[in-house]
């Protein structure tokens, strides 16, 4: 586990360095983050319901995809592929936000992952770590259903928190940084 964590930190740093190497291109183009996008985002009145359904649809695709893969022989390998990929992408995104907005970019990058990311990671961890029981065992169907319902509740709660952060906190931080 320690080796995997060290590898994740190295991959995260590689993502940060990749964004740092591409700094000139990031600043010149609006392809990655885009200051104009942030200005529009901060000045647009976001409706919680619309943001929630959009986020729910996107996260549901991800959770269903991982869930389907959990019923295949690839279940043991999925975590070793998905987690490093997310680590690299988040490092690149965080550094891009910092390049574009400075210290406010750090707050935006962290807010884009932290409050709800803990719930998502917990749900995916439970999904990947759950061992299905033989259904002839006593109460095994109820226990499996309980785990999947709990994972569903974690996902929905994460979507609600992410929607609140996206509609209230992130625009507020952007408005503060652009003043």
Give the three-class secondary structure for 29.
coil
> What is the per-residue pLDDT for 132?
60
167: nearest Cα among 51, 4, 54, 88: 51
The rounded distance, in Å, linking the Cα atoms of 90 and 78 is 18
Q: Which residue has the tokens 């709800």?
A: 116
Tokens of 91: 């490092």
pLDDT band at 22 (very low <50, low <70, confident <90, very high): confident
Mean pLDDT of 26-49: 71
Type and span of the H or E element at 164: helix 140-164
> What is the per-residue pLDDT for 59?
87
Mean pLDDT of 120-133: 75
The rounded distance, in Å, linking the Cα atoms of 143 and 19 is 44
The rounded distance, in Å, linking the Cα atoms of 135 and 73 is 19
Tell me the longest C-alpha to C-alpha distance in the chain.
Answer: 64
Q: Give the percent of the chain with pLDDT over 70.
A: 85
> What is the per-residue pLDDT for 93?
84
76: nearest Cα among 135, 118, 130: 130
pLDDT of residue 32 exceeding 60, the answer is no
> What is the per-residue pLDDT for 121?
81
* Least confident among 18-27, 31-40, 112-121, 158-167: 31-40
């Amino acid at each position: 586990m320690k080796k995997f964590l060290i590898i994740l930190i190295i991959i995260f740093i590689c993502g940060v360095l990749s964004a740092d190497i591409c700094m000139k291109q990031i600043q010149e183009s609006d392809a990655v983050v885009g200051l104009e996008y942030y200005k529009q985002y901060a000045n647009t009145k976001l409706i919680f319901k619309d943001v929630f359904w959009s986020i729910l649809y996107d996260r549901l695709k991800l959770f269903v995809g991982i869930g389907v893969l959990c019923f295949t022989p690839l279940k043991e390998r999925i975590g070793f592929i998905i987690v490093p990929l997310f680590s690299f992408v988040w490092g690149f995104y965080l550094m891009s936000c910092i390049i574009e907005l400075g210290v406010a970019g750090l707050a935006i990058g962290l807010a884009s992952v932290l409050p709800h990311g803990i719930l998502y990671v917990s749900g995916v961890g439970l999904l990947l770590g759950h061992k299905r029981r033989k259904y002839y065992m006593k109460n095994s169907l109820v226990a499996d259903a309980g785990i999947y319902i709990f994972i569903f509740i974690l996902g929905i709660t994460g979507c609600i928190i992410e929607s609140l952060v996206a509609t209230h906190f992130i625009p507020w931080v952007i408005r503060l940084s652009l003043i």
